[in-house]
Amino acid sequence: MRVASWIIIGALVMPPVHAEQGVGDYQGLPADLAAAATAYDIAQMKSDRAGLERLLADDYLLANLNGKNQNKAESIADAVVPGNKTTYVAISQQVRKTWPDGAVLGGMVDAKGMDRGKPYTLRARFVDVWARRDGKWQVIFTQIHRASPGE
């Protein structure tokens, strides 16, 4: 499932849904981190290989929905499979923890779209760990798991 590789990428919970669908609320974060996080949300939603290549660290690891770990290449390959299309993403219940060269950004994600040509709906909790290396922010680790009913 495509969303396993990103939602990442960074949710259908009503309060609060953000102004631009598919993009988290990064107000109050350092400007360069907020820009990187927004670009990552957009790259995930659009299956943008170049954006994902730039925003995922070479040592990136994803703990995906299937309980498996994927490296950067495997995650990107899943994200750009033909027939995958995300049509809706909303992020809520955001968690934002930062320090000078690192951050944890997470929350609840609700997504809809096509996975290899088949419709999907997803509600999951996710966490992205970010590191600033050589002056640029990249995701180094993501964990995502399906939300329990009622979450």
Put residue 134 in one of left, alpha, beta given phi > 0 → left and psi -120 to 50 → alpha. Answer: left
State the DSSP code for 116: T
Q: Which of 132, 125, 124, 126 is nearest to 98 (CA)?
A: 132
Instruction: Please give the pLDDT value at position 21.
Output: 60
**151 is a domain residue:** no
Average pLDDT of the segment spanning 31-53: 95
The contacts found for 70-76 with CB under 8 angstroms, 24 or more apart, are: 70/4, 70/5, 74/5, 75/5, 75/6, 75/142, 76/5, 76/49, 76/52
- The count of domains in the chain is 1
Domain of residue 62, residue span: 2-146
**101 is a domain residue:** yes
**73 is a domain residue:** yes
**104 is a domain residue:** yes
Instruction: Please give the pLDDT value at position 144.
Output: 96
pLDDT tens track for 73-100: 999 999 999 888 888 999 999 999 999 9
pLDDT at 147 over 60: yes
| Contact by Cβ (8 Å): 36, 135 | no
Provide CB contacts within 8 A for 98, sequence distance 6+.
29, 30, 33, 104
**11 is a domain residue:** yes
pTM: 0.84
CATH of the domain at 82: 3.10.450.50
pLDDT tens track for 4-41: 333 333 322 222 333 346 688 999 999 999 999 999 99
